Structure 1
Amino acid sequence: MLFKKNQGPRASTPQPQANSRQEIAAHLRLADKYIRESKFAEAEDELDAVRATEPNNVYALALEERRQ
């Protein structure tokens, strides 16, 4: 039986791909902008998009706290 080389630590949740990370960052920036402009419905839409990919994203959770 052959062993594979160590491929790094295994995470319990899959990590987002690079493109997905860029999309998440864009949603977070928009959510922040909308919160500053008091456009809370739009901010919620952006945060929902982040949570669909990363339900426990700490930045989305922090923005959610600011929104309230």
Structure 2
Amino acid sequence: MSGAGLGVIRRQGMAAWVRTALNAPEPPPDLPAVPCQPLPSASELTRLLAGLVVTLVEEPVHA
């Protein structure tokens, strides 16, 4: 239990908490699922990270 529910139960007791819960508005409906792109494979991630490391090593250091 967290947030306002915990405060109600501590200040006003269990009966007030039940009344609050019964009068609470309905939660919004779930949003439709959004298709996401598949995750890159481990080898693709390895190549990407290796490319970043090589790029960082090759860049001149500015003081």
TM-score class normalised by the smaller sequence: 0.3 to 0.5
Higher relative contact order (CA 8 A, sep 6+): 1
> TM-score scaled by structure 2?
0.35
Pick the structure with greater CA Rg: 2
